Structure 1
Amino acid sequence: MSVKIAIIGGTGVYDPTMLTDLRQVEVDTVYGKVAIKVGRYQEKEVAFLQRHGEGHSVPPHLINYRANILALKKLGVRQIIATAAVGSLDMKLEAGHLVVVHDFLDFTKVRPTTFFDGGEAGVVHTDFTYPYCPRLRNVLLEAGRQESLTIHDSAVYVCTEGPRFETPTEIKMYQNFGGHLVGMTSVPEVLLAREAEICYATVAMVTNYGAGISPQPLTHMEVLEAMDANKENIKSLAMKTIELLPTDDDCECHHALADFGGFKL
């Protein structure tokens, strides 16, 4: 089996029924087994992975990111469209807006962030001048324009450890550091995808303003309700992106580890 395109569904994005001929496959990796749904759209094989597991059962700091990305690599995936629910640090990025992230700030604490832990695995220093694949980002933006969606073309994603929400003072600090959005999952997913030489881009759905900006305390239910209200936008964006994506294009992402002999399964 060779599946070239994958969607990673974040909070509120659980529905793979845009795909036909759905089946579930289980991929065994050195980090554990991963259940992935595979189907077809526009004659293309597409994988759908629920980041938080069935029923949103896995919190962001305990997601087995290495198993997830390695499982997609073993399926043959070359391009990942990741979705994420985020809080906004920028008044221009309102609830319901879609944002194609271009950079990140990492405030995670306890997560494994690499496939290369030394020893037999070796040590790899990966370039992150362009953290999210520019080519895939452009396709997402074009898909958003064609679907007449409110979509922003850049933002810095602040990734926190979670699962708690941030304090007002933390939000002010992230703003001062240049952050526009705050979430809990892009790191280490984006790091591992680059090491695995897979194109990766995140489309974030703004669900609320951060603490101290929002006029009321934040709740997880608020996030779920905002995602549910806008799930059709995410769905139409993903479908149009898959339609526009070539499956055989080469990209610099596919050669990210060329100096180290490439990524070896």
Structure 2
Amino acid sequence: MLAIIGGTGLNEFSEGEVVGERHNHYGYTSAAIVQSEVAGRSVCFLARHGNPHTIAPHQVNYRANLWALKQLGVSQILAVNAVGGISPAMVAGALVSPDQLIDYTYGREHTLYDGSDDKLEHIDFSFPFAENLRGALSRAADSCALPLLDKAVYGVTQGPRLETAAEIDRMDRDGCDIVGMTAMPEAGLARELAMDYASLCLVVNPAAGRSDRLITMDDIHRVVDTGMVKVRALLTAALAELQ
């Protein structure tokens, strides 16, 4: 089964029935998980920040979310992330399927191997995003005539504040093309649970210092409102590609 994890601007995907329990031994999931039929296949949807959107990136219970999806039989995850653009090609409104990430977060519950069950595994995380899912996104973008940038490094910051211009300069030197707050520990936990994971990012603003204007939430919301129409179309087409 495939799951979609919705980020900022995608609090619901399609009508369906609530499945599973919100509470597990890692705590409560961000929202109820909704299962529906989309493009001829069964899909679970989970709103990362809750529905309505109230949970800050550093307060998301990523472990409970991923564990709950695993218990429902999910083996593939398409995650939607709103990000800022660092590299010149990453303009507001662009769709991006990153192939790498750098984790700058701290203090988050980032692993299932916390000593509570006397187990320890060191997962291979060389390539954090599943190529089969990224390929489906690329094919779906072609079928929808939607430009998709499929080579990018996602820098994951703590949030909820946006970054300083100096921090973005450092991330640029590190090789980051986009910046967001939610790909980690989500991607790492998916790998620990042996679930394929890929991110579909919508660039909603130039990163700090990458334009001559201040970043405003009004500007971000305008891009989110128009961009999520494209995201929904691309996700639906990708589901068909994964039949």
Given the two structures, how large is their TM-score scaled by the length of structure 1? Answer: 0.88
* Counterpart-to-counterpart distance in 1, 2:118 and 2:176: 33
Cα distance, 1:160 vs structure 2: 0.3
* Counterpart position of 1:29: 24
One-letter amino acid of the counterpart of residue 132, structure 1: F
* Counterpart position of 1:241: 238
1:1-265 equivalent positions in 2, closer than 5 A? 4-17=1-14, 22-27=16-21, 28-34=23-29, 35-246=32-243
SS at 2:53 equivalent? coil
On the 8 A contact 1:115/1:121 being kept in 2, the answer is: no
* Counterpart position of 1:252: none
One-letter amino acid of the counterpart of residue 104, structure 2: F
One-letter amino acid of the counterpart of residue 159, structure 1: V
* Counterpart-to-counterpart distance in 2, 1:7 and 1:121: 31
On the 8 A contact 2:20/2:72 being kept in 1, the answer is: no
Cα distance, 1:222 vs structure 2: 2.4
On the 8 A contact 1:26/1:33 being kept in 2, the answer is: no
1:112-143 CA-partner distances (Å, limit 9, x unpaired): 11000125241211101211001111111111
1:243-265 CA-partner distances (Å, limit 9, x unpaired): 1113xxxxxxxxxxxxxxxxxxx
Cα distance, 1:224 vs structure 2: 2.2
* Counterpart-to-counterpart distance in 2, 1:194 and 1:146: 29
On the 8 A contact 1:11/1:224 being kept in 2, the answer is: no
On the 8 A contact 1:11/1:56 being kept in 2, the answer is: yes
* Counterpart-to-counterpart distance in 2, 1:185 and 1:163: 10
Structure 1 residues 120 and 15, CA gap change in structure 2 (3 angstroms): closer
On the 8 A contact 2:98/2:150 being kept in 1, the answer is: yes
* Counterpart-to-counterpart distance in 1, 2:227 and 2:118: 42
Bigger mean CA deviation after superposition, 170-179 or 42-51:
42-51
* Counterpart-to-counterpart distance in 1, 2:92 and 2:179: 13
* Counterpart-to-counterpart distance in 2, 1:119 and 1:207: 39
SS at 1:205 equivalent? strand
Cα distance, 1:202 vs structure 2: 0.1
Aligned residues: 240
One-letter amino acid of the counterpart of residue 101, structure 2: F
Structure 1: gaps (5+ residues): 247-265
One-letter amino acid of the counterpart of residue 178, structure 2: L
On the 8 A contact 1:11/1:85 being kept in 2, the answer is: yes
1:166-189 CA-partner distances (Å, limit 9, x unpaired): 000000000000000000000000
* Counterpart-to-counterpart distance in 2, 1:53 and 1:210: 25
One-letter amino acid of the counterpart of residue 94, structure 2: H
Q: After TM superposition, what 4+ stretches of structure 1 lie above 6 angstroms from structure 2?
A: none
Structure 2: gaps (5+ residues): none
* Counterpart-to-counterpart distance in 1, 2:180 and 2:118: 30
* Counterpart-to-counterpart distance in 2, 1:81 and 1:64: 18
1:223-255 CA-partner distances (Å, limit 9, x unpaired): 222111111110110000111113xxxxxxxxx
On the 8 A contact 1:61/1:163 being kept in 2, the answer is: yes
1:205-229 CA-partner distances (Å, limit 9, x unpaired): 0111111112211123322221111
Cα distance, 1:32 vs structure 2: 1.9
* Counterpart-to-counterpart distance in 2, 1:13 and 1:215: 29
* Counterpart-to-counterpart distance in 2, 1:84 and 1:152: 14
Cα distance, 1:25 vs structure 2: 2.5
Bigger mean CA deviation after superposition, 204-213 or 115-124:
115-124
